[in-house]
Structure 1
Amino acid sequence: MGFENAEDRWRHRLGELRNVVRQELVTRQLDRHLPAAPARVLDAGCGQGTQALRMAERGHDVTGVDTSADLLGLLPPGRVTTVRADLSELPALFPPASFDVVLCHGVLMYFADPGPLLTDLARLVRPGGFLSLLVRNGDALAMRPGLAGDWPATRAAFTADAYTNRLGVRARADRRADLTAALAARGLEVTHWYGVRVFTDPAPDATPVPDDLDALIDCEEIAGRTDPYRAVAALTHLIGGRQEA
């Protein structure tokens, strides 16, 4: 993974508009699918734990796994069970079908080959549970440079499967059809999918949260579940469920 070298830049941007929109939208989208509390939830690559803490506030039993001691240290003690480990260690940490909900947000893009991680994540989902994946939308890589007027980068992005993100890290992008097939091969059916950041992705770094944030989030939430808008969002959020036995 290449995120480690950009961790400080990530931490300094947590309160900026683009990250706030991402977290608020993912929370709303997850709320449509969460089982009754207390469900067992794993946040794989939890980082600073925004979603992990929100799941805990809803009464769920949440475990967060991340390699960064600094990011895990941002979580209030006692709210979430934290494990400092590499995600390659998941099979050794938890037995199969340990969780009702498995979250993996903004992580897959830093793996050159996401297949082994997808296998490990899917293995942990109980029958009737689901995996929530948030990935860079490979079907819309040309949108960000196009809206910025960078035409050489836009032209290249139409056929690209990787990009340099705003943290300066080279990362992969995933196409929804490819991920849907990959999850199906692991026993998970994509039942719902959403776009995240349709309107606000072009916002410059350091853009503050506006006073009308609620109205903004309402519009982003509608766009994120409505065609054709969701298909051109910067991020794609997939819900992959495992059928009851």
Structure 2
Amino acid sequence: MRPSRPLYDVLADGYEEHFAVPHRRAYDDLAWEQTVALLPEPPDRIVDAGCGVGRWARRLRSRGYEVTGVEQSPGMIAALRRHPSDPGFTLVEASMTDAQLPPDAGMVLAMGSLQYTDDPEAAVAHLAGWLRPGGVLAVLVDSLVALVLELLRDGREEEARHRLTTRRGVWRQHGREADLHLLDRARLEAAFTAAGLTDLRTRGLLVTATPLGRDELTRRLTTDREAHLDLERHLLESPLLADTGKQLLVTGRRRGPAGPAPE
């Protein structure tokens, strides 16, 4: 697989604006809403694996959490360090599969980063190892099913067959390309189960993206954003529609009582 780090290096300076695009802002906000509902009590420790420029880390710090960010892209790290230092934030400069962290986190997040690892199942097990009993792992990835349906809608049958067969995708930005795993609900939930996680739930974010198309989705998010997000919030509650969401958000809990946050 072609690594994602060079692509993220060139994205770093404008990464905040990258999420101002209506559909990205929409799935990011939906993922945040769903994740907040599972957060432990502050000041528990949260690990943000693939923290980028610290967008989510800063939100978590504003709520009183201790945050450990894991990031391997030099460009992202440089952009992150341009923000004021924060004693409640610790940066680990490593890939999420190489970083070694203690098993004491109340939540581990991998928002868009798991799909770029060489072995997603091994990565899920590695991330789950950072949780304390009762801690939650939350992973956000691109959906295989949604992409295949999108390609079929657009008349790109050969590429749809190729993506479905290889279960690999390509992300292109600013002249750079990175390969990624295209994942589905069944494979992700199997990985979570194998890692010893329970209380699994998979939500499809932006279920309307494929049937509406980018232009119509953007129009709706621009003209009446809250009404459309209310529809998306209703759709993401259906397990039947999970794989049709543009993004899959999977959560699971490490066995054992949650208990108080470690001192």
Coarse TM-score class (shorter-chain normalised)? 0.7 to 0.9
Aligned partner (choices 188, 205, 230) of residue 242 of structure 2? 230
Superposed counterparts of 1:1-245, under 5 Å: 2-7=3-8, 8-9=10-11, 11=15, 13-72=18-77, 73-74=79-80, 75-78=83-86, 80-91=89-100, 94-95=101-102, 97-167=103-173, 168-200=177-209, 202-203=213-214, 210-244=222-256
Q: Percent identity?
A: 28
Alpha-carbon distance, 1:147 to partner: 3.1
Alpha-carbon distance between aligned partners in 2 of 1:119 and 1:226, rounded to the nearest angstrom: 26
Counterpart contact for 1:66–1:86, Cα < 8 Å: yes
Root-mean-square deviation (CA), in Å? Answer: 2.4
Deviations 1:138-188 (A, max 9, x none): 343312212333232224334341122353432111222222222222211
Alpha-carbon distance, 1:83 to partner: 2.5
Alpha-carbon distance between aligned partners in 2 of 1:76 and 1:85, rounded to the nearest angstrom: 21
Alpha-carbon distance between aligned partners in 2 of 1:221 and 1:173, rounded to the nearest angstrom: 23
Counterpart contact for 1:90–1:120, Cα < 8 Å: no
Secondary structure at 1:115's aligned position in 2?
helix
Any unmatched runs of 5+ in structure 1?
none
Secondary structure at 2:195's aligned position in 1?
coil
Runs of 4+ in 1 over 4 A off after TM superposition: none
Alpha-carbon distance, 1:76 to partner: 4.5
Secondary structure at 2:109's aligned position in 1?
strand
Whose helix fraction is larger, Structure 1's or Structure 2's? 2
Alpha-carbon distance, 1:82 to partner: 2.3
Secondary structure at 2:222's aligned position in 1?
coil
Secondary structure at 1:153's aligned position in 2?
helix
**TM-score, normalised with respect to structure 2:** 0.81
**TM-score, normalised with respect to structure 1:** 0.86
Alpha-carbon distance between aligned partners in 1 of 2:156 and 2:11, rounded to the nearest angstrom: 23
Q: Which moved more, 1:82-91 or 1:4-13?
A: 4-13
Counterpart contact for 1:24–1:217, Cα < 8 Å: no
Alpha-carbon distance, 1:17 to partner: 1.5
Alpha-carbon distance between aligned partners in 2 of 1:182 and 1:109, rounded to the nearest angstrom: 13
Amino acid in the other structure paired with 1:173: L
User: Are the structure 2 counterparts of residues 151 and 115 from structure 1 closer, same or farther at C-alpha, using a change threshold of 3 Å?
Assistant: closer
Secondary structure at 1:77's aligned position in 2?
coil
Amino acid in the other structure paired with 2:232: E
Alpha-carbon distance, 1:113 to partner: 1.6
Deviations 1:34-67 (A, max 9, x none): 1222221000111122222222222211111101
For these two proteins, the number of residue pairs brought into alignment is: 240
Secondary structure at 2:38's aligned position in 1?
coil
